[in-house]
Structure 1
């Protein structure tokens, strides 16, 4: 009974420098803000091109995987509400090596994602200021969001709440406008449920196309795990976290499936793509003035929101690594306002990387950075399922306090989620997303070497410390 309580107590003690100020609605909007981004506003077009109308099944299955993931996370996060989150759990319940690679993979995923978003922001600003150098917008918006994250967690949450509110409102407006177009607002032919089976049927690319599109759909859901990362700064995490997780999964699933269904009924799937946002196409049908400018503002807000959340996530993960002595200890320091400033500064590396990659690979920089960051995120999800298996078994063996939240269908649904995710990762080798594994496999090898070197250095340090202590004790006794 003492072991689980010891774990929880230790986790909370290590996070006493962080302030617990986040409420349920803020946790939900942070996760929503991170997940509702270019994956919905633009990326859904790629998914439609890959699967046709069967993309609805792809997003439904993707939502099911996320639902299983959130169930596992809810159980573990309530038991251990720390900023290290799933990295800390992997460390304690699987092996320190697992915690090491999970946290560094998630950290690099968010660091690179920050670079991806800030690059996109520079592109969006060209709409209004075509002759202004993109590096100016990278530095300007990067500086603003660094300041927001450096003040205090409440300021961060407030900004993210309103960023997310704009995006959620845009999605709701799209659904209402789309419904108006379908059920009487337009006299144009070719609009309606018949588009689900036109041009090749519901499965124009077969089950393989539907399966591959599941991976694309998962990209749209990335960010929901942010709730677990923010749990270390949540008020009453045992209440706030489960509520936020449930609300996030339900809202995201509803928004994505409804939005794509409406999109397919208005715009034939062969006309969908990433050349233009589906939001723009619907507004063009409605003849809304300045539609492109409105959508550009929404997409800009989406990028700012995602960048804000990713900068927060990478900062807290580096903070957790330093607490566990997997990174230099000075990254574990916090300001008077409860913000790990040094961890924040090192996590802004993605902004610099983005500028360099954009200069060297102007045509493919976005794709390269996106593929690299995707591996870390999907690998983290897979390890969450694995961690849950170890967590529940070890927790039960200790006969500790009852779990407040339990994942239903354990262990079968946990295993199902992990197997589905692993199969999707392997699938990418046979698709245009192959660079993800081409980066990911060497990355894991590099982390393995780094862990071995860290372990040896740590062992040498402890031996030297023990030897010094012994010598001092002997000297004191002789005196």
Structure 2
């Protein structure tokens, strides 16, 4: 039995019920959330009109990453996904670090999403306690995830479909406003060059905003985890990767370009969604409330997908022997309930933060939460390098192959490493590495301790 076959066998019990359209919408739904609807305001404030380039840079990294990841998923559709691939091709420690760092990141992002939901609810209920909305919406999402993966997939499909339709409508309305509004209205592409020009904070401001833009794309890799529960994993994953990424790149770049053309970039901030700001400025009756409802459902959709992925990642660790056995149990519906409930502590953290901290903590929470995801993306590029070398060495055939290897992998990995390193130079993101590097050291020590206590657990051999 091969190492990959062993991983597939130990992660059995989950049901393969997700369809190809559901996989596509899971990828879209998980990536279109707070990072775009609220975080884009901070990105615009950092880069000005050149934020369009910031999103283009991040889109390039995301495109290469998804190509590399799709190649591995088609070859090995397992629930542990990129964590399992790191385990196989880089060794047990790498697999342990990737899965735990990513799980911690996703759990914290869940808290970020539900905190944003509480902010959105202030539009209709100003002055209401944030913890109340956190409790209500978290309870609903947790309950949904206790149902079969087919129910989860259907709900996520329609939530994602709704916000995709809303963003498409935003693009149509925004385009009409930009092209039909008189030249002296203050709306139009002239806003790109007003004041300090296209690069008001220099290229470093553009590059720094690419970090936030990259955070907005984080979530597209969820599809790799969900592929382990798809009815036809290889074909579904390959198709879903392509369609999801194209839509995301189109939506992100076009919406940001329109926002900067309609609203002066100096008005952007982290306390109000730029989407709502645009609708207020346009003045369409009721449009601001409708858009606020859309971004509320977007955050719910992202939170729903994040909780799903977090539960599967800790489930995979449990089946490996690096998390308590109880987290590897599966209900009659094929749901790892213990892993699900264990992954909800981000919700509790969000409730606590809503009481103790002010609104300005969104970017701080984002900076801490993003390390695990950025680290995972970097490790995906490194894993893909070893994966391809292994296949080349053994003359194995791939059903789906990325063009341009090794240059595509090298470019993606270099850009990813540069963006991760830049977080140390940007005050808003300094906590990313300040908290992330010690986290890796603690996890590495934990791995050694756990590994020594489990002498019967075979260490997976390095490949390539």
Measure how far apart 1:132 and its partner are: 4.5
Q: Does 1:322 align with 2:318?
A: yes
For each residue in 1:48-106, what CA deviation from the matched residue of structure 2 results, as whole angstroms up to 9, or x when unmatched? 22112221111111101101000110011111101100000000110100000000011
SS of 2:29 mapped into structure 1: helix
- Range that drifts further, 36-45 or 226-235: 36-45
Task: Pick from 186, 191, 200 the counterpart of residue 190 of structure 1.
Answer: 186
Structure 1 residues 13 and 335: CA distance shift in structure 2, 3 A? same
Structure 1 residues 265 and 367: CA distance shift in structure 2, 3 A? closer
Measure how far apart 1:189 and its partner are: 2.2
Measure how far apart 1:263 and its partner are: 1.6
Contact (CA 8 Å) 2:175, 2:258: kept in 1 or not? Answer: yes
Q: Does 1:390 align with 2:375?
A: no
Contact (CA 8 Å) 1:62, 1:214: kept in 2 or not? Answer: yes
Task: Pick from 391, 413, 421 the counterpart of residue 416 of structure 2.
Answer: 421
Q: In the TM superposition, what are the counterparts of 1:359-374 in structure 2 within 5 Å?
A: 359-363=355-359, 365-374=361-370
What residue is the counterpart of 1:377 in the other structure?
373
Q: TM-score, normalised by structure 1?
A: 0.91
Measure how far apart 1:322 and its partner are: 0.7
Measure how far apart 1:349 and its partner are: 1.3
Find the aligned partners of 1:253 and 1:354 in 2 and give their Cα distance: 29
Structure 1 residues 63 and 441: CA distance shift in structure 2, 3 A? same
Gaps of 5+ in 1: 464-479
What residue is the counterpart of 1:412 in the other structure?
407
Contact (CA 8 Å) 2:321, 2:457: kept in 1 or not? Answer: no
Measure how far apart 1:14 and its partner are: 2.8
Find the aligned partners of 1:416 and 1:354 in 2 and give their Cα distance: 36
What residue is the counterpart of 1:241 in the other structure?
237
For each residue in 1:237-273, what CA deviation from the matched residue of structure 2 results, as whole angstroms up to 9, or x when unmatched? 1111111111111111111111111122222323333
What residue is the counterpart of 1:468 in the other structure?
none
Find the aligned partners of 1:365 and 1:51 in 2 and give their Cα distance: 20
Task: Pick from 50, 55, 68 the counterpart of residue 54 of structure 1.
Answer: 50
Task: Pick from 218, 226, 232 the counterpart of residue 230 of structure 1.
Answer: 226
What residue is the counterpart of 1:475 in the other structure?
none
Measure how far apart 1:395 and its partner are: 2.4
Measure how far apart 1:137 and its partner are: 2.2
Task: Pick from 287, 296, 300 the counterpart of residue 300 of structure 1.
Answer: 296
Q: In the TM superposition, what are the counterparts of 1:462-473 in structure 2 within 5 Å?
A: none
Structure 1 residues 87 and 193: CA distance shift in structure 2, 3 A? same
How many residue pairs get aligned? The number is 457
What residue is the counterpart of 1:163 in the other structure?
159
What residue is the counterpart of 2:84 in the other structure?
88
Q: Does 1:15 align with 2:8?
A: no
For each residue in 1:404-434, what CA deviation from the matched residue of structure 2 results, as whole angstroms up to 9, or x when unmatched? 1112111111011111111111111111210
Contact (CA 8 Å) 1:11, 1:81: kept in 2 or not? Answer: no
Find the aligned partners of 2:362 and 2:47 in 1 and give their Cα distance: 23
Find the aligned partners of 1:126 and 1:42 in 2 and give their Cα distance: 14
Find the aligned partners of 1:73 and 1:391 in 2 and give their Cα distance: 10
What residue is the counterpart of 1:471 in the other structure?
none
- Range that drifts further, 353-362 or 198-207: 353-362
Measure how far apart 1:231 and its partner are: 0.8
What residue is the counterpart of 1:129 in the other structure?
125
Find the aligned partners of 1:20 and 1:115 in 2 and give their Cα distance: 28
Find the aligned partners of 2:185 and 2:128 in 1 and give their Cα distance: 42
What residue is the counterpart of 1:77 in the other structure?
73
SS of 1:151 mapped into structure 2: coil
What RMSD, in angstroms, separates the aligned Cα atoms of the two structures?
1.9
Q: In the TM superposition, what are the counterparts of 1:97-116 in structure 2 within 5 Å?
A: 97-116=93-112
SS of 1:93 mapped into structure 2: helix
What residue is the counterpart of 1:147 in the other structure?
143
What residue is the counterpart of 2:259 in the other structure?
263
Find the aligned partners of 1:45 and 1:362 in 2 and give their Cα distance: 18
